[in-house]
Amino acid sequence: MFIAMNRFKVKRGSEHAFEQVWANRESYLDRLPGFVSFHLLKGPEAGDHTLYSSHTVWQSKADFDGWTRSEEFRAAHARAGSEASGALYLEHPAFEGFEVRQTLLGKHKAA
């Protein structure tokens, strides 16, 4: 498995607008082979921003790489960094990719 994450420093007061951009976008992720799940994570608040992370899980790094080369990726990111969305965060998102080495599952799955 491969986990791809982007960290966003969202300007204080822009959290709701940032979340709405994600809630209302067409992601196309489920069209790609190897896609497992997506999460938008809200983290701690700092003086000038709130930390967010987008988090996708893929069956393999090759599947993730296929996503980044796809037409669906280009379509999903066509408005990323636009004047409207770029004004919501302090700096360009920071990408982090991880190959999963261990997974533990709980006895009860979340609903």
Residue pair 104/40 in contact by the 8 Å Cβ criterion? no
pLDDT category at 110 given cuts 50, 70, 90 is: low
pTM over 0.85: no
Q: What is the mean pLDDT of residues 14-34?
A: 91
pLDDT category at 4 given cuts 50, 70, 90 is: very high
Place of tokens 């940032």: 18
Q: How far is CA 102 from CA 9, 60, 64, 71, 105, in A?
A: 29, 14, 19, 32, 10
* Domains of the chain, start order: 2-99 (3.30.70.100)
How do residues 54-101 score in pLDDT, each as one tens digit?
999 999 999 999 999 999 988 887 766 555 555 898 888 899 999 999
